[in-house]
Amino acid sequence: MTSLHADEAFLDHYQLSHDPFAPRVPGFKFFPAQRKPVLAQLHHLARYSHLMLVVTGPLGSGKTLLRQALAASTNKQSVQSVVVSARSAGDAASILGQIAQYLDVAEPQVQSILSKMVQLALTGQEVYLLVDDAEQLDESALQALLELAAGVPEGRPHVFLFGEPSLIAGLDELNIEEERFHIIELAPYSEDETREYLEQRLVGAGRGIEVFSREQIADIHENADGWPGTINQVARDTLIEAMIASRTTAKRPAMGFKMPKKHVLALSAVVVVAVAAAVLMPRKGDKAPEDAPAAQAQLPLGDGNSSAAIEFSGSSQPKPLPLGGQSQPVMREPLAQAAGMGEGEEGSPAGDTALQPGNPPPTVTTIAPPQGVSAGPAPAPAQPVTSTAKPAVTQQPKQTSPAKPEPARTQVAVAKPAPKAAEKPAEKSASGGSGNSAWYTGQKPGNYVVQILGTSSEASAQAFVKAQGGDYRYFRKSLQGKPLYVVTYGNFANRDAAVAAIKNLPAKVQAGKPWPRTVASVQQELASAR
């Protein structure tokens, strides 16, 4: 399945009103497990503490969602929520500039902003200063935010930082002697909470948890480590895998053998000829004319302009049987498989395997008898290599007749199957915003890759791929409206091969808990990011 209409196919297959695992969904409900206590703690500390509050967790742990819930749950009449991001620029001038612009302060300085805080406090207004992507703040920005959090007796903002765990290291480098900030580390969901989270998402899209089996839920929880953002991604991949598998099974031919009507008629004609030959066969004791050739059952050849059709095992299409002196290429199933043709494919090699130029396909050639020698009865057609049922042979009584020149024998010239084309070495990671998007688009949707990590910094993804080399590459997607660069490893024909490859990765790579996912899911994310 390609990614052109993946969204429509995905929703139609499971009868979903919308994608339940998208970052933003209609009628979204905040999932309280593990996050509602943190939300209550933030409100409590903002009211009774003068410390800067720091919320940390890995990518996909729900930091941005918690920040949105914090702003949404405040009293809009008494609290102004100012949201700034350190993604574009994390220095003090950029951060203070964003804050000053939002609060309509002329000079982007700490003292000017604090003066605005005093004015708002006199009118009963408070300010929640919410900083997203705080792990990208530099030392100058952290110092400025700490000064704002300390404020002045007459007024100060409540500063909240939301960032990845590396933010803690940046704060520790400031060597602050007194307690100036409080850290809250987000915890992952338990397996029961993961199940409840999946159910809430599915119910919102018109389905229930019965979409997943118990084993699938356990697998989703294990691969996602309980982090909600990764749960969404793994759950979506699991549904797409199941959809592809069900469609592949539906396309397989039904068991049993059904012969086309025209082949039944041809077989009936053969039986009639065989019965007639048996009737005309000389009876025991009767002496056959010396010059009469032995009666033989022959396939009906029609009017000479059409080739007799014979059906080979494993093929749903009849193959023309070469007659006379004509020569036609016939691809038998074993030769087609040796040449790289997959199941159900007629004329194109499977995967990356291709017939080498200069190697002709296997042919069946009929050699005509030499001139001056009359041809005897038509020889029986050569049987394909894969045929297991031998045709019935009518036993003829031995007859004495003068020696006659033997008819020309049918020779089968079978060319050796072309060797598989050498596999191309893994592509090097491309530098640029799209990463290896073209490579992922060109792969089979049913294949698997191993997802290594996701990062909001393209430079980090490029550096990782460059350091590892080999089959490592990355692509760009969108997560909660922001670009995310996902590094993957390898290209595998099935899930088992991808799981086995994870065990052979370096220890430091395995520490990030890599997990297998389908190429189809990557192609769909690339299409959504366009």
Residue 471 CB-density burial (10 A; 0-12 exposed, 13-18 middle, 19+ buried): middle
Residue 524 CB-density burial (10 A; 0-12 exposed, 13-18 middle, 19+ buried): buried
Instruction: Read off the pLDDT of residues 3-33 as tens digits, 9 standing for 90 and up.
Output: 434 556 778 888 888 899 988 788 777 888 8
Rounded CA-CA distance 328/364 in Å is: 7
| Mean pLDDT for all residues in the chain | 73
Confidence at 163, pLDDT banded by 50, 70, 90:
very high
Among 245-249, 322-326, 348-352, 515-519, the least confident range: 348-352
| CB neighbour burial string for 280-314, b if at least 16 within 10 angstroms, e if fewer | ebeeeeeebeeeeebbbbebeeeeeeebbbbbbee
Among 194-198, 209-213, 241-245, 291-295, the least confident range: 291-295
Backbone angle region of 500, left / alpha / beta, with phi > 0 → left and psi within -120 to 50 → alpha = alpha
Rounded CA-CA distance 452/508 in Å is: 11
Confidence at 226, pLDDT banded by 50, 70, 90:
very high
Residue 184 clears pLDDT 90, i.e. is over it: yes
Average pLDDT over residues 490-499: 91
Rounded CA-CA distance 229/64 in Å is: 10
For the chain, what's the residue count? 530
What's residue 374's pLDDT? 44
Rounded CA-CA distance 340/333 in Å is: 11
What's residue 350's pLDDT? 36
| CB neighbour burial string for 29-46, b if at least 16 within 10 angstroms, e if fewer | eebebbbeebbeebeebb
Residue 444 clears pLDDT 80, i.e. is over it: yes
Average pLDDT over residues 391-398: 44
Residue 80 clears pLDDT 50, i.e. is over it: yes
Q: Contact 408/369 with Cβ under 8 angstroms? A: yes
What's residue 99's pLDDT? 93
What's residue 157's pLDDT? 93
Please state, as a whole number, how many other Cβ atoms lie within 10 Å of the Cβ of residue 69. Answer: 19
Identify which has the larger pLDDT, 397 or 156: 156
Q: Which amino acid is at 215?
A: E
In this structure, what DSSP letter does residue 201 have? H
Q: Taking the domains of the chain in order of start, what are their residue ranges?
A: 6-25+190-248, 36-185, 437-529
> What is the strand order of the sheet 448-455 is part of?
472-479, 482-492, 448-455, 515-518
Residue 433 clears pLDDT 60, i.e. is over it: no
Among 70-84, 101-115, 129-143, 396-410, the least confident range: 396-410
Confidence at 281, pLDDT banded by 50, 70, 90:
low
What's residue 259's pLDDT? 55
Q: In 129-183, which ranges are continuous DSSP H helix?
A: 139-150, 166-172
Q: Contact 156/187 with Cβ under 8 angstroms? A: no
- Most confident of the ranges 253-257, 363-367, 437-441: 437-441
What's residue 253's pLDDT? 53
Nearest to 218 by CA among 203, 204, 242, 234: 234
Question: Domain spanning 437-529: which superfamily?
Answer: Sporulation related repeat (3.30.70.1070)
What's residue 66's pLDDT? 92
What's residue 398's pLDDT? 46
Confidence at 436, pLDDT banded by 50, 70, 90:
confident
Residue 505 clears pLDDT 60, i.e. is over it: yes
CATH class of 36-185: alpha beta
- Token pair of 91 as six digits: 């220095």
Residue showing tokens 């408070």: 126
Nearest to 483 by CA among 161, 85, 129: 85
Percent of the chain with pLDDT over 70: 64
